[in-house]
Structure 1
Amino acid sequence: MTRSIGLLRGVGGPTALKMPALREVLASAGLGQVTTLHVAGNIVLDDGGRSPNEIARTIRDAVRVAFGFDLPVLVRSHAELADAHARNPFADASEGRWVQTVFLDTTPARPLEVPAGIPEQAVLDGREVFVRYPEGIGGSKLQAAWFEKRLGVTGTARNANTIAKLIALSA
Protein backbone atom coordinates (compact mmCIF):
# COMPACT_ATOMS: atom_id res chain seq x y z
CA MET A 1 0.00 0.00 0.00
CA THR A 2 1.23 3.49 -0.82
CA ARG A 3 1.84 5.90 2.01
CA SER A 4 0.90 9.56 1.73
CA ILE A 5 1.69 12.55 3.86
CA GLY A 6 -0.99 15.02 4.93
CA LEU A 7 0.21 18.46 5.96
CA LEU A 8 -2.34 20.46 7.95
CA ARG A 9 -1.82 24.20 7.87
CA GLY A 10 -2.39 26.27 10.98
CA VAL A 11 -2.21 23.64 13.71
CA GLY A 12 -1.25 25.23 17.00
CA GLY A 13 -2.31 27.89 19.47
CA PRO A 14 -6.09 28.24 19.31
CA THR A 15 -6.28 25.41 16.75
CA ALA A 16 -4.06 22.96 18.63
CA LEU A 17 -4.97 19.31 18.16
CA LYS A 18 -4.14 16.36 20.37
CA MET A 19 -2.31 13.93 18.11
CA PRO A 20 -3.78 10.72 19.64
CA ALA A 21 -7.29 12.11 19.06
CA LEU A 22 -6.37 13.18 15.53
CA ARG A 23 -5.03 9.71 14.71
CA GLU A 24 -8.22 8.13 16.04
CA VAL A 25 -10.48 10.50 14.07
CA LEU A 26 -8.58 9.94 10.82
CA ALA A 27 -8.48 6.17 11.25
CA SER A 28 -12.25 6.25 11.86
CA ALA A 29 -12.61 8.26 8.64
CA GLY A 30 -11.14 5.29 6.75
CA LEU A 31 -7.57 6.48 6.33
CA GLY A 32 -6.02 3.23 7.56
CA GLN A 33 -2.96 3.16 9.76
CA VAL A 34 -2.27 6.78 10.72
CA THR A 35 0.97 8.07 12.22
CA THR A 36 1.61 11.65 13.32
CA LEU A 37 4.88 13.50 13.75
CA HIS A 38 5.25 16.30 16.28
CA VAL A 39 2.17 18.37 17.16
CA ALA A 40 2.10 20.46 14.00
CA GLY A 41 -0.27 18.50 11.76
CA ASN A 42 2.13 16.08 10.07
CA ILE A 43 0.23 12.93 9.16
CA VAL A 44 1.48 9.75 7.49
CA LEU A 45 -1.26 7.41 6.28
CA ASP A 46 -2.20 4.68 3.84
CA ASP A 47 -3.70 6.24 0.74
CA GLY A 48 -6.04 3.29 0.12
CA GLY A 49 -5.99 4.08 -3.61
CA ARG A 50 -7.45 7.55 -2.99
CA SER A 51 -6.28 10.60 -4.90
CA PRO A 52 -4.41 13.34 -3.02
CA ASN A 53 -7.49 15.57 -3.35
CA GLU A 54 -9.72 12.86 -1.83
CA ILE A 55 -7.32 12.40 1.06
CA ALA A 56 -7.08 16.15 1.68
CA ARG A 57 -10.89 16.47 1.62
CA THR A 58 -11.31 13.50 3.99
CA ILE A 59 -8.77 14.92 6.47
CA ARG A 60 -10.20 18.44 6.29
CA ASP A 61 -13.78 17.22 6.76
CA ALA A 62 -12.83 14.90 9.63
CA VAL A 63 -10.95 17.68 11.46
CA ARG A 64 -13.82 20.13 10.92
CA VAL A 65 -16.43 17.69 12.24
CA ALA A 66 -14.39 16.34 15.17
CA PHE A 67 -12.58 19.48 16.31
CA GLY A 68 -14.45 22.40 14.76
CA PHE A 69 -11.43 23.74 12.84
CA ASP A 70 -11.48 24.26 9.08
CA LEU A 71 -7.78 23.84 8.29
CA PRO A 72 -6.31 23.59 4.80
CA VAL A 73 -4.63 20.26 4.03
CA LEU A 74 -1.96 19.55 1.44
CA VAL A 75 -1.11 15.97 0.51
CA ARG A 76 2.04 14.54 -1.04
CA SER A 77 2.91 10.93 -1.74
CA HIS A 78 6.08 9.49 -0.26
CA ALA A 79 7.71 9.75 -3.71
CA GLU A 80 6.64 13.39 -4.12
CA LEU A 81 7.96 14.32 -0.69
CA ALA A 82 11.29 12.56 -1.32
CA ASP A 83 11.53 14.26 -4.72
CA ALA A 84 10.88 17.68 -3.22
CA HIS A 85 13.55 17.07 -0.58
CA ALA A 86 16.02 15.98 -3.27
CA ARG A 87 15.28 19.11 -5.34
CA ASN A 88 15.79 21.49 -2.41
CA PRO A 89 18.97 23.43 -3.22
CA PHE A 90 19.42 24.27 0.46
CA ALA A 91 18.78 20.79 1.93
CA ASP A 92 22.45 20.30 2.78
CA ALA A 93 22.71 23.51 4.82
CA SER A 94 24.27 22.88 8.20
CA GLU A 95 21.19 24.10 10.09
CA GLY A 96 18.25 22.02 8.78
CA ARG A 97 15.70 23.74 10.98
CA TRP A 98 16.44 27.00 9.14
CA VAL A 99 15.74 25.48 5.73
CA GLN A 100 12.08 25.14 4.86
CA THR A 101 9.96 23.87 2.04
CA VAL A 102 6.67 25.68 1.56
CA PHE A 103 4.34 23.11 0.02
CA LEU A 104 1.77 24.72 -2.27
CA ASP A 105 -1.66 23.43 -3.31
CA THR A 106 -1.05 24.28 -6.98
CA THR A 107 1.75 25.47 -9.21
CA PRO A 108 1.57 29.27 -9.07
CA ALA A 109 0.87 31.24 -12.24
CA ARG A 110 2.88 34.14 -10.84
CA PRO A 111 6.68 34.27 -10.64
CA LEU A 112 8.39 34.47 -7.27
CA GLU A 113 10.06 37.81 -6.67
CA VAL A 114 12.05 37.92 -3.45
CA PRO A 115 12.78 41.44 -2.18
CA ALA A 116 16.34 42.65 -2.67
CA GLY A 117 18.57 43.25 0.32
CA ILE A 118 17.29 40.48 2.58
CA PRO A 119 19.43 37.57 3.79
CA GLU A 120 16.88 34.87 2.93
CA GLN A 121 17.11 32.89 -0.27
CA ALA A 122 14.02 31.40 -1.91
CA VAL A 123 13.50 29.32 -5.03
CA LEU A 124 10.12 28.39 -6.55
CA ASP A 125 10.14 24.96 -8.19
CA GLY A 126 6.74 23.63 -9.23
CA ARG A 127 4.49 23.24 -6.19
CA GLU A 128 7.25 23.96 -3.69
CA VAL A 129 9.18 27.00 -2.54
CA PHE A 130 12.55 26.21 -0.98
CA VAL A 131 13.73 28.78 1.55
CA ARG A 132 16.97 29.24 3.46
CA TYR A 133 16.96 31.50 6.52
CA PRO A 134 20.65 32.12 7.35
CA GLU A 135 19.72 34.38 10.28
CA GLY A 136 16.81 32.30 11.59
CA ILE A 137 13.14 32.05 10.74
CA GLY A 138 11.48 33.96 13.58
CA GLY A 139 12.21 37.50 12.42
CA SER A 140 11.87 36.88 8.70
CA LYS A 141 9.13 38.40 6.58
CA LEU A 142 9.30 35.39 4.26
CA GLN A 143 6.88 33.15 6.13
CA ALA A 144 4.43 30.77 4.41
CA ALA A 145 1.70 33.45 4.47
CA TRP A 146 4.00 35.86 2.59
CA PHE A 147 4.44 33.29 -0.19
CA GLU A 148 0.71 32.54 -0.25
CA LYS A 149 -0.17 36.20 -0.71
CA ARG A 150 2.45 36.88 -3.39
CA LEU A 151 1.85 33.68 -5.35
CA GLY A 152 -1.95 33.46 -4.93
CA VAL A 153 -1.92 29.90 -3.57
CA THR A 154 -2.38 28.02 -0.30
CA GLY A 155 0.75 26.69 1.36
CA THR A 156 2.25 25.26 4.50
CA ALA A 157 5.91 25.12 5.50
CA ARG A 158 7.99 22.35 7.04
CA ASN A 159 11.67 22.44 7.90
CA ALA A 160 14.22 20.09 6.33
CA ASN A 161 14.59 18.05 9.53
CA THR A 162 10.84 17.38 9.70
CA ILE A 163 10.68 16.50 6.00
CA ALA A 164 13.49 13.97 6.41
CA LYS A 165 11.60 12.36 9.31
CA LEU A 166 8.35 12.26 7.30
CA ILE A 167 10.16 10.59 4.41
CA ALA A 168 11.54 7.94 6.76
CA LEU A 169 8.10 7.39 8.39
CA SER A 170 6.35 7.03 5.05
CA ALA A 171 8.88 4.62 3.48
Structure 2
Amino acid sequence: MSRSVALIRGVGGPTALKMAALREVLASAGLGGVETLQVAGNVVLDNAGRSPADIASVVREAVRGAFGFDLPVIVRTHAELAGSRARNPYADAPEGRWVQTVFLDARPAARLELPDGVPEEAVLDGREVFVRYPEGIGGSKLQAGWFEKRLGVTGTARNANTVAKLIAMSA
Protein backbone atom coordinates (compact mmCIF):
# COMPACT_ATOMS: atom_id res chain seq x y z
CA MET A 1 0.00 0.00 0.00
CA SER A 2 1.20 3.52 -0.78
CA ARG A 3 2.14 5.80 2.09
CA SER A 4 1.69 9.53 2.44
CA VAL A 5 2.88 12.13 4.91
CA ALA A 6 0.55 14.68 6.49
CA LEU A 7 2.30 17.75 7.85
CA ILE A 8 0.12 19.58 10.35
CA ARG A 9 1.13 23.23 10.69
CA GLY A 10 1.27 24.92 14.06
CA VAL A 11 1.40 21.94 16.41
CA GLY A 12 2.95 22.98 19.71
CA GLY A 13 2.56 25.40 22.58
CA PRO A 14 -1.14 26.23 22.98
CA THR A 15 -2.01 23.83 20.13
CA ALA A 16 0.06 20.90 21.41
CA LEU A 17 -1.33 17.48 20.56
CA LYS A 18 -0.58 14.21 22.31
CA MET A 19 0.73 11.97 19.54
CA ALA A 20 -0.94 8.80 20.91
CA ALA A 21 -4.29 10.60 20.96
CA LEU A 22 -3.67 11.97 17.45
CA ARG A 23 -2.92 8.49 16.10
CA GLU A 24 -6.12 7.18 17.71
CA VAL A 25 -8.25 10.03 16.34
CA LEU A 26 -6.88 9.59 12.81
CA ALA A 27 -7.42 5.83 12.92
CA SER A 28 -11.01 6.47 14.07
CA ALA A 29 -11.41 8.79 11.06
CA GLY A 30 -10.67 5.86 8.78
CA LEU A 31 -6.96 6.39 8.14
CA GLY A 32 -4.78 3.29 8.33
CA GLY A 33 -1.21 2.57 9.33
CA VAL A 34 -0.95 5.85 11.24
CA GLU A 35 2.48 6.64 12.69
CA THR A 36 3.81 9.91 14.07
CA LEU A 37 7.29 11.39 14.24
CA GLN A 38 8.26 13.76 17.03
CA VAL A 39 5.57 15.99 18.57
CA ALA A 40 5.42 18.47 15.72
CA GLY A 41 2.52 17.24 13.57
CA ASN A 42 4.35 14.76 11.35
CA VAL A 43 2.02 11.89 10.42
CA VAL A 44 2.80 8.97 8.13
CA LEU A 45 -0.15 6.88 6.96
CA ASP A 46 -1.48 4.53 4.32
CA ASN A 47 -3.22 6.61 1.68
CA ALA A 48 -5.57 3.79 0.58
CA GLY A 49 -5.82 5.42 -2.85
CA ARG A 50 -7.01 8.74 -1.43
CA SER A 51 -5.73 11.97 -2.94
CA PRO A 52 -3.46 14.24 -0.91
CA ALA A 53 -6.29 16.82 -0.80
CA ASP A 54 -8.72 14.23 0.60
CA ILE A 55 -6.23 13.11 3.24
CA ALA A 56 -5.54 16.73 4.23
CA SER A 57 -9.26 17.35 4.63
CA VAL A 58 -9.79 14.21 6.74
CA VAL A 59 -6.83 15.02 9.00
CA ARG A 60 -7.83 18.68 9.42
CA GLU A 61 -11.45 17.81 10.25
CA ALA A 62 -10.38 15.05 12.67
CA VAL A 63 -8.01 17.40 14.52
CA ARG A 64 -10.64 20.15 14.64
CA GLY A 65 -13.33 17.75 15.89
CA ALA A 66 -11.21 15.99 18.51
CA PHE A 67 -8.95 18.77 19.76
CA GLY A 68 -10.72 21.99 18.73
CA PHE A 69 -7.78 23.32 16.68
CA ASP A 70 -8.22 24.32 13.03
CA LEU A 71 -4.70 23.66 11.78
CA PRO A 72 -3.69 23.62 8.11
CA VAL A 73 -2.54 20.24 6.81
CA ILE A 74 -0.25 19.72 3.83
CA VAL A 75 0.09 16.22 2.41
CA ARG A 76 2.77 14.72 0.21
CA THR A 77 2.97 11.17 -1.12
CA HIS A 78 6.14 9.25 -0.42
CA ALA A 79 7.24 9.83 -4.02
CA GLU A 80 6.57 13.58 -3.77
CA LEU A 81 8.48 13.81 -0.49
CA ALA A 82 11.44 11.86 -1.87
CA GLY A 83 11.33 14.01 -5.01
CA SER A 84 11.47 17.18 -2.95
CA ARG A 85 14.58 15.96 -1.17
CA ALA A 86 16.19 15.07 -4.49
CA ARG A 87 15.49 18.61 -5.78
CA ASN A 88 16.71 20.36 -2.62
CA PRO A 89 20.04 22.00 -3.49
CA TYR A 90 20.95 22.19 0.21
CA ALA A 91 19.84 18.69 1.28
CA ASP A 92 23.38 17.44 1.79
CA ALA A 93 24.61 20.45 3.76
CA PRO A 94 26.61 19.33 6.80
CA GLU A 95 24.15 20.89 9.27
CA GLY A 96 20.80 19.34 8.28
CA ARG A 97 18.85 21.04 11.03
CA TRP A 98 19.73 24.40 9.42
CA VAL A 99 18.25 23.39 6.08
CA GLN A 100 14.49 23.53 5.79
CA THR A 101 11.88 22.72 3.23
CA VAL A 102 8.77 24.87 3.39
CA PHE A 103 6.01 22.66 2.01
CA LEU A 104 3.33 24.78 0.33
CA ASP A 105 -0.32 23.91 -0.18
CA ALA A 106 -0.26 25.22 -3.75
CA ARG A 107 2.15 26.38 -6.41
CA PRO A 108 2.50 30.13 -5.81
CA ALA A 109 1.90 32.64 -8.56
CA ALA A 110 4.36 35.07 -6.97
CA ARG A 111 8.11 34.96 -7.48
CA LEU A 112 10.43 34.48 -4.52
CA GLU A 113 12.65 37.46 -3.84
CA LEU A 114 14.80 37.56 -0.71
CA PRO A 115 15.57 40.84 1.03
CA ASP A 116 19.01 42.31 0.39
CA GLY A 117 21.66 41.56 2.96
CA VAL A 118 20.25 38.38 4.48
CA PRO A 119 22.63 35.43 4.91
CA GLU A 120 19.95 32.87 4.02
CA GLU A 121 19.71 31.21 0.65
CA ALA A 122 16.35 30.07 -0.70
CA VAL A 123 15.01 28.50 -3.86
CA LEU A 124 11.35 28.16 -4.84
CA ASP A 125 10.76 24.95 -6.80
CA GLY A 126 7.13 24.06 -7.48
CA ARG A 127 5.31 23.62 -4.16
CA GLU A 128 8.44 23.75 -2.02
CA VAL A 129 10.83 26.42 -0.85
CA PHE A 130 14.28 25.12 0.06
CA VAL A 131 16.09 27.28 2.59
CA ARG A 132 19.62 27.19 3.99
CA TYR A 133 20.28 29.11 7.21
CA PRO A 134 24.09 29.44 7.47
CA GLU A 135 23.79 31.31 10.80
CA GLY A 136 21.04 29.13 12.28
CA ILE A 137 17.26 29.29 12.08
CA GLY A 138 16.33 30.83 15.44
CA GLY A 139 17.31 34.43 14.71
CA SER A 140 16.27 34.48 11.07
CA LYS A 141 13.42 36.65 9.79
CA LEU A 142 12.84 34.15 6.99
CA GLN A 143 10.61 31.67 8.78
CA ALA A 144 7.74 29.76 7.13
CA GLY A 145 5.33 32.63 7.85
CA TRP A 146 7.56 35.05 5.94
CA PHE A 147 7.41 32.83 2.87
CA GLU A 148 3.63 32.40 3.23
CA LYS A 149 3.06 36.16 3.22
CA ARG A 150 5.37 36.81 0.27
CA LEU A 151 4.07 33.93 -1.84
CA GLY A 152 0.38 34.09 -0.90
CA VAL A 153 0.07 30.41 0.04
CA THR A 154 -0.02 28.31 3.22
CA GLY A 155 3.13 26.47 4.19
CA THR A 156 4.80 24.50 6.92
CA ALA A 157 8.54 23.89 7.35
CA ARG A 158 10.49 20.78 8.24
CA ASN A 159 14.26 20.51 8.55
CA ALA A 160 16.32 18.19 6.35
CA ASN A 161 16.82 15.67 9.14
CA THR A 162 13.07 15.36 9.70
CA VAL A 163 12.37 15.11 5.96
CA ALA A 164 14.88 12.25 5.69
CA LYS A 165 13.20 10.41 8.58
CA LEU A 166 9.73 10.91 7.05
CA ILE A 167 10.96 9.55 3.72
CA ALA A 168 12.32 6.46 5.46
CA MET A 169 9.10 5.96 7.45
CA SER A 170 6.86 6.35 4.40
CA ALA A 171 8.88 3.99 2.15
Alignment of 1:145-164 (within 5 A): 145-164=145-164
Partner of 1:64: 64
Q: Aligned partners of 2:156, 2:163: CA distance in 1, in Å?
A: 12
CA apart distance, 1:33: 1.1
Letter in 1 for 2:91: A
The answer for the alignment partner of 1:142 in structure 2 is: 142
Question: Is 1:111 paired with 2:97?
Answer: no
- Structure 2 unaligned regions, length at least 5: none
Kindly provide the CA deviation profile for residues 36-87 of structure 1, in whole angstroms up to 9, marking residues without a partner as x: 0000000000001111110000000000000000000000000000000010
Letter in 2 for 1:146: W
Partner residue of 2:48?
48
* Local SS of the residue matching 2:156: strand
Matches within 5 A, 1:96-107: 96-107=96-107
Tell me, in whole angstroms, the C-alpha distance in 1 between the residues paired with 2:49 and 2:118: 44
Secondary structure at the residue paired with 2:101?
strand
2:84 counterpart residue number: 84
The alignment partner of 1:158 has SS state of: strand
CA RMSD of aligned residues (A): 0.4
- Rounded to whole Å, the distance in 2 between the matches of 1:161 and 1:29 is 29
Partner SS for 2:74? strand
2:140, 2:108 → 1: CA distance?
Answer: 22
Runs of 4+ in 1 over 6 A off after TM superposition: none
Letter in 1 for 2:114: V
The one-letter code matched in structure 2 to 1:122 is: A
CA drift at 1:116: 1.3
1:7: which partner in 2? 7
Distance 1:78 1:47 in 2: 10
Match of 1:20 in 2: 20
What is the TM-score of this pair, normalised by structure 2? Answer: 0.99
Paired letter, 1:14: P
- 3-state SS in 1 of match to 2:32: coil
Correspondence for 2:29: 29
Is 2:128 the partner of 1:128? yes
Tell me the amino acid that sits aligned with residue 21 of structure 1. Answer: A
Cα deviation for residue 167 of structure 1 reads 0.3
- What does residue 73 of structure 2 align with? 73
Query: How many Å separate the matches in 2 of 1:33 and 1:110?
Result: 37
Point out where structure 1 has 5 or more consecutive residues left out of the alignment.
none
CA–CA distance in structure 2, aligned partners of residues 9 and 141 of structure 1: 18
Paired letter, 1:117:
G
